[in-house]
Structure 1
Amino acid sequence: MATFHLRTDTTHATWNRDQRPAIHVSPGDVVTLDILDSSDGQVHPDSTVDTVANLDFGRVNPVTGPVFVDGAQPGDALVITVMAVDVADWGWTANIPGFGLLSDAFPEPHLRISQITAGYAQMLPGIRVPICPFIGTIGLAPEIPGDHPLVPPTVQGGNMDVRHVTAHSRLWLPVAVPGALLSVGDTHAAQGDGEVAGTAIETSGQVTLKIDVKKKLALKSPELETDPRSHRQGPAWVTTGIGPDLFRAARQAVEHMIERLARELRLAPDDAYLLLSAAGDLKISEIVDAPNWVVSMHLPTHLWD
């Protein structure tokens, strides 16, 4: 087993099967990757909403890599054991105009900077979000030639924002090109299921991965084994959206929680929206009782107790 370290001078801004590898590794090797935050350093601890309004989207979501894995071929699966995810001592959460589940209801930029210490992110006055660092973007090069955007996830992974890709989890990704070409980015300190406002607690970080290959395991999409510590516990407030349209029901569940937070905690709606993106979990609670489905938004009450 060999060990490698990739720094942020190996980042790139698109998926491309012809991207030049930053390193070559063998199955069983361990790679540590330094990760830039999803703004590519455009947001700073002293940033204002003007920074959000003027983001250069051509720089958003940079990834470190790619890593060429010897022996990986189309039809195989890359098996990635996440050994560690470490994040910086601050992060940011923003409402970016035109982005997010309720983008029509929140058209103005909004920004909150969190200080991260002792296992918590101080996101709003009196509200601390427990951190659970994870990898937002981890994926392989696509089969189709040319540049492909980093933000939408694909069957090769990418910007999945599954908050359970934490230390001690194991991820399987379907290989589409020789060498797989693994790249990683978008570390988060915490996120709610759904990332409803479009951002989590975004931060720079460092991840350590052990990389293996499972031959002739033709997966149709990524698969994951989670660490139990990545699941939230304890009492929560829950609001619901009910109807025949899952997307509309999801919006309703979030809208109703924003209303509750305004009523019970006197939070401004835009702050409540960002809090739900960082710490609220959007779940499909029922999808069998036609014609109406139930989507629920869960928010742990220990955030402010």
Structure 2
Amino acid sequence: MTRPHIHTIHHHHFGWDNSLTPTHRAAPGDTLEFTIQDASGGQLNEHSTSADVPNFDFSLTNPVNGPVYIEGAEPGDVLSVEMLDFQESAWGWTGILPGFGLLAGDFPDPWLHISRYDRTSVSFTPEITLPTRPFTGTIGVAPAEPGPHSVVPPRRVGGNLDIRDLTRGSKLYLPVEVAGALFSVGDTHACQGDGEVCGTAVETAMNVQLKFGLLKGANFSAPRFEVPGGSMAGVDSRGYYATTGLGPDLYAASQDAIRAMIDHLGREYGLGPELAYALCSVAVDLKISEIVDAPNWLVSAYLPRGIFK
């Protein structure tokens, strides 16, 4: 089936800033295509190794395409963004970046892993295969506060959300704070576990087609999203193994749950600590299992057994 002609946006920028000049204008109902670089901004390639990680220029990481001016969008409105399709590339990377990630203190050294993938599956190692589940990790509109602002944290207007369920058929709703919304998108992933615990997923370049809509005067306080039926099915044919962390601090409990999972992956599957940590980032889902029985909250980490041969 031939896709209708749509405008393709190649231009990218770094961070959020409502003073940036829009590269394109679109009306509600329009579809646009974005040619997105990987989160390294092209600094890594399929032959890169751990030795290349210390050479990162972090000012060039996580580029986002745009901004796009949405006709009629005003503060108090909500921009809807429908994820129509993704054209994946053939490889992606997962890295441990010093000082970054849930267990940054446990993993101080740079490390890099290259995966191969197609539209259906990711070959993480010869023994580990994950389902391809493409999505944009960073997606949002410009904040009202003058910039520039870092692209790293999530914000009320979107940003580095890393919601893995924003794949084909899903729809994201973003609060608008400036005229025209000034939409940008980047940071495409081939797959990720809920939490992206080492700080990276399977980072990769993609082309993405998005359709825009506008809810006038909706005044959402934060992003919301819709997920189509059947899209959340995981690799559950052989069930899950879960570890837990508990205590009065959800962040510390999450760390303990992942440390326990790294231990399990080493004992059960013989994975080294770095590879186990990276696998947690791309395949293990963190869930809040309990947050009402004070003084301790409980976090669970779910590992799908079906990814192993």
Q: Same fold by TM (over 0.5)?
A: yes
Provide the residue aligned with 1:132 in structure 2. 133
Whichever residue aligns with residue 289 of structure 1, its letter is D
Q: Matches of 2:77 and 2:5 in 1, distance apart?
A: 23
Provide the residue aligned with 1:283 in structure 2. 287
Q: Matches of 1:6 and 1:106 in 2, distance apart?
A: 39
Q: Matches of 2:178 and 2:118 in 1, distance apart?
A: 41
Q: 2:234 aligns with which of 229, 232, 235?
A: 232
Q: What is the CA-CA distance between 1:288 and the residue it aligns to?
A: 1.1
Q: Matches of 2:275 and 2:267 in 1, distance apart?
A: 13
Q: Matches of 2:48 and 2:38 in 1, distance apart?
A: 14
**2:248·2:297 contact (CA, 8 Å) conserved in 1?**
yes
Aligned to 2:137, what secondary structure does the other structure show?
A: strand
Provide the residue aligned with 2:166 in structure 1. 165
Unaligned residue ranges in structure 2 (runs of 5+): none
Provide the residue aligned with 2:187 in structure 1. 186
The alpha-carbon distance between structure 1 residues 166 and 276, as it changes in their structure 2 partners (threshold 3 A), is same
Cα displacement string for residues 35-75 of structure 1 (whole angstroms, at most 9, x for unaligned residues): 00000001100001121121110011000011100000000
**1:76·1:218 contact (CA, 8 Å) conserved in 2?**
yes
Alignment of 1:53-92 (within 5 A): 53-92=54-93
**2:84·2:168 contact (CA, 8 Å) conserved in 1?**
yes
User: In terms of mean alpha carbon deviation, does 172-181 or 147-156 score higher?
Assistant: 147-156
User: In terms of mean alpha carbon deviation, does 295-304 or 142-151 score higher?
Assistant: 142-151
Aligned to 2:155, what secondary structure does the other structure show?
A: coil
Cα displacement string for residues 56-104 of structure 1 (whole angstroms, at most 9, x for unaligned residues): 1001100001110000000000011111122211000000110000000
Provide the identity percentage: 46
Q: What is the CA-CA distance between 1:136 and the residue it aligns to?
A: 0.5
Cα displacement string for residues 237-289 of structure 1 (whole angstroms, at most 9, x for unaligned residues): 10001112111110000000000010000100110000010011011111111
Q: Matches of 1:130 and 1:14 in 2, distance apart?
A: 30
Q: Matches of 2:102 and 2:222 in 1, distance apart?
A: 24
Q: Matches of 2:65 and 2:272 in 1, distance apart?
A: 37
Q: Matches of 1:73 and 1:291 in 2, distance apart?
A: 43
Q: What is the CA-CA distance between 1:231 and the residue it aligns to?
A: 3.9
**1:155·1:222 contact (CA, 8 Å) conserved in 2?**
yes
Q: Matches of 2:250 and 2:66 in 1, distance apart?
A: 36
Q: Matches of 2:119 and 2:136 in 1, distance apart?
A: 20
The alpha-carbon distance between structure 1 residues 175 and 101, as it changes in their structure 2 partners (threshold 3 A), is same
Q: 2:246 aligns with which of 236, 242, 246?
A: 242
Q: Which runs of 4+ in 1 moved over 3 A?
A: none
Q: What is the CA-CA distance between 1:18 and the residue it aligns to?
A: 1.1
Q: Matches of 1:125 and 1:196 in 2, distance apart?
A: 22
Q: Matches of 1:68 and 1:258 in 2, distance apart?
A: 44
**2:9·2:32 contact (CA, 8 Å) conserved in 1?**
no
Cα displacement string for residues 152-209 of structure 1 (whole angstroms, at most 9, x for unaligned residues): 1110001110101111001100000000000010000000000000000000001111
Provide the residue aligned with 1:274 in structure 2. 278
Whichever residue aligns with residue 257 of structure 2, its letter is A
Unaligned residue ranges in structure 1 (runs of 5+): none
Provide the residue aligned with 1:215 in structure 2. 216
Q: Matches of 1:125 and 1:141 in 2, distance apart?
A: 42
Q: 1:6 aligns with which of 8, 29, 33?
A: 8
Aligned to 2:231, what secondary structure does the other structure show?
A: helix
Q: Matches of 1:214 and 1:7 in 2, distance apart?
A: 24
Q: 1:301 aligns with which of 295, 299, 305?
A: 305
